[in-house]
Structure 1
Amino acid sequence: MQAPLKPAMAPLVWQVGALCRAIAGALEQKFNPVAVRGEISGFSRASSGHCYFQIKDGQGQIRCAMFRRAAALVDFSPRDGDLVELRGRLSVYEARGDLQLVVESLQRAGAGALMEQFLRLKARLEAEGLFDAARKRPLPALPRGIGLVTSPGAAALHDVVTALRRRLPHVPVLLAPASVQGAEAPADLVRALQRLYAHARDGADQPIDLILLVRGGGSVEDLWAFNDEALARCIVQSPVPLVSGVGHETDFSIADFVADLRAPTPTAAAELAAQPREVWLALLDGMANRLHDAAMRNLDQLAQRLDQTAARLGRPSQGAGRQRLHLAQLEQRLQHGLATQLAQRRHRLDVQQPRLRAAVQGRAQQARQALAHAARGLELLDPRVVLQRGYTWLTDASGSTVTSVAQLTEGAAVRATLADGEADLQVTKTGRV
């Protein structure tokens, strides 16, 4: 008998917006950035400054949107029929489900050879795995030193140094100057990076944990040095994480793809290299609060143990009282010490931050040792310790402690408590010493 056919699996049911976003994500991952050559059709400029048109040739057309910021950088007035080369990112306009190209730069046709060269090199290096996310390294949270490659006369140098002084004023910055434009720039950039690489490997006195490769904005030709293959392969060889901050946010170079991290601008590269000082201060406050809470919990536990021990001691309550007072003093000293340490270390954070945690932990360890010593002293007051030296504790029939012969009469029953047990006795004779 033939087995019944299994029903086909039902397809995944998408929300429309979610499907649009998924398609957009797939497009962006596979194609972007893209460069297109074609003819402008249906060009219009809205009152907002945004521009909308189609780019077409004999085989097809694509809707385009060029927002005001990118439109302001165009150095001519686009018209229908103009043959242009544009650069941008494919996306899906979710409101209509339309494929559109968000234009980031637009120029008259003629610079297409450079873009074709860029795309061929990009595809070849990507195929070799030089863009793989697996080889990208995370940036150090608090670098000991930063290497910087840029032109000494560029505005990018001022922007980066200003940002680093604001965020990490105590971290040294080692500049390796290089030209960033022109035919000699790629080889000059490679030499500058290699100098920093050698220092990163051997510079024990002034270590480098991060390198910034930066240049300000410019035309495609101005930024072309950062699309050099030799420079790309040199970047891959960096012994420490390297951040590329070349041009403006809409500019992409081969250096951006091979670097460990791409920053949209030189200033952004400096900001990525260093967390703001306020972040570290907040982290330090959080650590101090956790340390204080832990110390207080420990003190509460020790105080509870002290109360329990004192309750078992009976008459030696005065000793327990002194120990409680000493414990309270220790607690006050610890609280005051923690507050003082925190204020001093916060003031000296820029130069002594690594020692703060060890100092606070040492202070807490001293307090714990003092408490342990006090607990041991308290335990010495336990009557059982005295009994172990050969003494005996006498109580009468009512359980009251016998401390004088005046409390005894001949024939009275008493109980003797020794270190290892008890014995019932009868008084046969009394007398004073």
Structure 2
Amino acid sequence: MNSIFETPNRAAAPRIWDVGALCRAIGDALQARFNPVAVRGELSGFSRAASGHCYFNLKDANGQIRCAMFRRAADQIGFMPRDGEMVEVRGRLGVYEQRGDLQLVVESMQRAGQGALFEQFLRLKAQLEAEGLFDVARKRPLPPLPRGIGIVTSPGAAALHDVVTALRRRVPHIPVVLVPALVQGAQAPQSLVEALQKLYRLAQDGQGMAADLAADPQKPVIDTILLVRGGGSLEDLWAFNDEQLARTIVQSPVPLISGVGHETDFTIADFCADLRAPTPTAAAELVSQPREVWLGVLQLLQDRLANGAQRMLDRQQQRLDLATQRLGRPSSQLARNHLQLSRQAQRLRHAMLLKMQRLAHGQQVLQASLPQVLQRSLLGQAQRLERMDLRLQLLDPRLVLQRGYALLSDDKGRPVTQVRQAPPGAALKAQLSDGAVDVVVTQPRLL
């Protein structure tokens, strides 16, 4: 079959095609002549159906072409396509037979010029990774409650507004220091480096102030830095892929968070930072645990402390009650000791009488025939009785009272041993060596 692009023979009658067959023939010709094809153009009418397939036009000043990108290929795009963006696509030309339209089925898409920039990005990333700038071991944890937060971004950027709004909502009590910098353009990398270095000096000064009791309380202590910028194309974010900026980031004296672009955007700064946040707002939220959370923690700790102290007091009170029960009143203990001595003396006298009766029954003269063992036993028992009588006398509180002391008790007969048991106006009884007197407390005094 002759190609449809060949010059028709004027003498021969034209072939009559079925519409579908003609569309297929054109498609076959395009497949053989052009595919695969790469096209650069401006996105227009971009939409994504519920099925995940994307439909759009590529255009320039001289023409446009309909494009379709099926879900499998659309899921591989590393950015969100927007109308007006210049992109480069690769795919296959064909004819959509149902409408008879020329259609480019796109298999891959990238922003225009991204290929060279992306290759440069990959080379720098590999170099710095080999030098250890991305090592997880050098990443530092964020302070749970920062004393001050430093921010590097453009003062007119929406990212700053988002960050400040989040910080004011969550931690309005934490001071924030903004060091402005360019975030796009040829001068942006150097501007970002200078801004970070200025914050580093403030942070180092603050660390010295934290150890100095005479430091200026009005000067904030910065212990966290946020490097943020809103979303954009690869070209827009290129300042954050600068080698000097990367080396400056790893020199930060305090933990540094990178919040550059959207969730799908990655820069060299993200890999060098201690932590990468998907958005500027997320970066602010990572360092701003809400005040309510910390107040809740403090309340929990206060409850635990109060409960622990109460349990300790209860245990000590139980020990005191037990000791009081064991101690009792001195007179009660003295009476028990006296009763015990009396019983022992009675048993001794009974034993001696019984032995003497047995000896008298067997012998006429007691002293002449009393064994020496019995005599020693009697002598020992008599000495023991004398010692117990002396101990009993020493326990007699009247001996202490005779030396000028008094035994105080309250109106219920309980002993008063501490000042706190005798408030002003309390009526007490003072037991002396020869009697008792009633007293009234006027003014307690502690030693």
Q: Please, what TM-score do these two structures have when normalized by structure 2?
A: 0.54
**What amino acid maps onto 2:232 in structure 1?**
G
Asked if residue 240 in structure 1 is aligned to residue 233 in structure 2, the reply is no
Query: What are structure 2's unaligned runs of at least 5 residues?
Result: 1-35, 40-46, 56-70, 94-106, 210-218, 344-384, 397-433, 436-447
Q: How does 1:212-291 map to 2 (within 5 A)?
A: 212-291=226-305
Pick aligned residue for 1:209 from 216, 223, 227: 223
Tell whether the 8 Å contact from 1:48 to 1:68 is kept in structure 2 after alignment.
Answer: no
Tell whether the 8 Å contact from 1:178 to 1:188 is kept in structure 2 after alignment.
Answer: yes
Change beyond 3 A, Cα 1:38–1:261: farther
Change beyond 3 A, Cα 1:419–1:73: farther
Query: Which residue of structure 2 aligns with residue 179 of structure 1?
Result: 182
Q: How does 1:34-433 map to 2 (within 5 A)?
A: 47-48=49-50, 50-51=52-53, 64-66=73-75, 73=82, 75=85, 81=91, 106-107=109-110, 110-203=113-206, 204=209, 205-315=219-329, 383=330, 395-396=338-339, 418=391
Tell whether the 8 Å contact from 2:87 to 2:110 is kept in structure 1 after alignment.
Answer: no
Change beyond 3 A, Cα 1:198–1:49: farther
**What amino acid maps onto 1:48 in structure 2?**
A
Alpha-carbon distance in 1 for matches of 2:189, 2:318: 71
Alpha-carbon distance in 2 for matches of 1:419, 1:155: 95
Question: SS of the counterpart of 1:169?
Answer: coil
Question: SS of the counterpart of 1:81?
Answer: strand
Identical counterparts, % of pairs: 60
**What amino acid maps onto 1:290 in structure 2?**
R
Alpha-carbon distance in 1 for matches of 2:220, 2:137: 29
In the TM superposition, what is the alpha-carbon distance from 1:168 to its structure 2 partner? Answer: 1.4
Alpha-carbon distance in 2 for matches of 1:38, 1:303: 91
Change beyond 3 A, Cα 1:67–1:134: same
In the TM superposition, what is the alpha-carbon distance from 1:307 to its structure 2 partner? Answer: 1.4
Deviations 1:188-220 (CA, angstroms, capped at 9, x unpaired): 000000000111112433211010000011111
Tell whether the 8 Å contact from 1:51 to 1:67 is kept in structure 2 after alignment.
Answer: no
Tell whether the 8 Å contact from 1:82 to 1:108 is kept in structure 2 after alignment.
Answer: no
Alpha-carbon distance in 1 for matches of 2:183, 2:87: 30
Deviations 1:339-369 (CA, angstroms, capped at 9, x unpaired): xxxxxxxxxxxxxxxxxxxxxxxxxxxxxxx
Question: SS of the counterpart of 1:296?
Answer: helix
In the TM superposition, what is the alpha-carbon distance from 1:39 to its structure 2 partner? Answer: 6.7
Tell me how many residue pairs correspond in the alignment.
275
Query: Which residue of structure 2 aligns with residue 56 of structure 1?
Result: none
In the TM superposition, what is the alpha-carbon distance from 1:72 to its structure 2 partner? Answer: 5.4
Question: SS of the counterpart of 2:133?
Answer: coil
Larger radius of gyration: 2
Deviating 4+ runs (over 3 angstroms): 37-40, 62-65, 67-80, 391-400, 415-423
Query: Which residue of structure 2 aligns with residue 373 of structure 1?
Result: none
**What amino acid maps onto 2:310 in structure 1?**
M
Question: SS of the counterpart of 1:191?
Answer: helix
Tell whether the 8 Å contact from 2:79 to 2:265 is kept in structure 1 after alignment.
Answer: no
Alpha-carbon distance in 2 for matches of 1:420, 1:214: 91
Alpha-carbon distance in 2 for matches of 1:177, 1:78: 35
